[in-house]
Structure 1
Amino acid sequence: MALLNSGKIKGKGYPLVQAFPIKPQHFTHSGLGWQQFKALQRAFEDSPGVRVNYFDGDVEILTVSPQHGIIAGNLGFLLELWMLEQGIAFVATGDMTVERDQVASAQGDKSYCFSDRKTIPDLSIEVVIAGEGSTKLARYAALGVSEVWFWQNSEIAIYQLEGTRYAKVEVSQYAPGLNLSNLAACVVIESRAAALAKFKAG
Structure 2
Amino acid sequence: MQVALKQVVVPPGQQLLLKDVSWQMYEGILKELGEKRAARINYFQGILEIMTPLPGHEVGKVIIGDLVKALCEEIEVECWSLGSTTFKNKDMAAGIEAEDCFYIQNEAVIRGKDIVDLNTDPPPDLAIEIDIASRTRLDNYEALGVPELWRYDGQNLEINVLENGKYVSSNISRNFPNFPLVDVIPQYVEQSKIQGRNATIRAFRSWVKEVTGKLS
Q: Is the 8 A contact 2:171 2:180 kept in 1?
A: no
Structure 1 residue 196 and structure 2 residue 201: aligned? yes
User: CA 1:87 to 1:185, structure 2 compared with 1: closer, same or farther past 3 Å?
Assistant: same
| Structure 1 residue 40 displacement after superposition | 2.2
Q: Which residue of 1 aligns with 2:124?
A: 121
Q: Is the 8 A contact 1:122 1:147 kept in 2?
A: yes
Q: Which residue of 2 aligns with 1:183?
A: 185
User: CA 1:37 to 1:91, structure 2 compared with 1: closer, same or farther past 3 Å?
Assistant: same
- Counterpart of 2:133 in structure 1: which amino acid? A
Instruction: Considering Cα pairs closer than 8 Å and 6+ residues apart, tell me whether 1 or 2 has the greater RCO.
Output: 1
Q: Which residue of 1 aligns with 2:3?
A: none
- Counterpart of 1:125 in structure 2: which amino acid? I
Compute the TM-score of the two structures, normalised by the length of structure 2.
0.74
| Partner SS state of residue 76, structure 1 | helix
Query: Can you give the 5+ residue segments of structure 1 that lack an aligned partner in the other structure?
Result: 1-21
| Structure 1 residue 47 displacement after superposition | 4.5
- Counterpart of 2:197 in structure 1: which amino acid? R
| Structure 1 residue 56 displacement after superposition | 1.2
Compute the TM-score of the two structures, normalised by the length of structure 1.
0.78
Q: Is the 8 A contact 1:112 1:123 kept in 2?
A: yes
- Counterpart of 2:187 in structure 1: which amino acid? A
- Counterpart of 2:127 in structure 1: which amino acid? S
The 5 A counterparts of 1:110-189 are 110-113=100-103, 114=105, 115-118=107-110, 119=121, 120-133=123-136, 136-180=137-181, 181-188=183-190, 189=192
The correspondence for 1:55, drawn from 12, 35, 44, is 44
Q: Which residue of 2 aligns with 1:70?
A: 59
| Structure 1 residue 25 displacement after superposition | 1.8
| Structure 1 residue 52 displacement after superposition | 0.9
Query: Can you give the 5+ residue segments of structure 2 that lack an aligned partner in the other structure?
Result: 1-10, 111-120, 208-216
Same amino acid, percent of matched pairs:
25
- Counterpart of 2:61 in structure 1: which amino acid? A
Structure 1 residue 107 and structure 2 residue 86: aligned? no
Q: Across the two proteins, how many residue pairs are aligned to each other?
A: 179
| Structure 1 residue 159 displacement after superposition | 1.2
Taking the aligned partners of 2:17 and 2:134, their CA distance within structure 1 comes to 10
Q: Is the 8 A contact 1:26 1:130 kept in 2?
A: no
Normalized per residue, which structure has more strand?
1
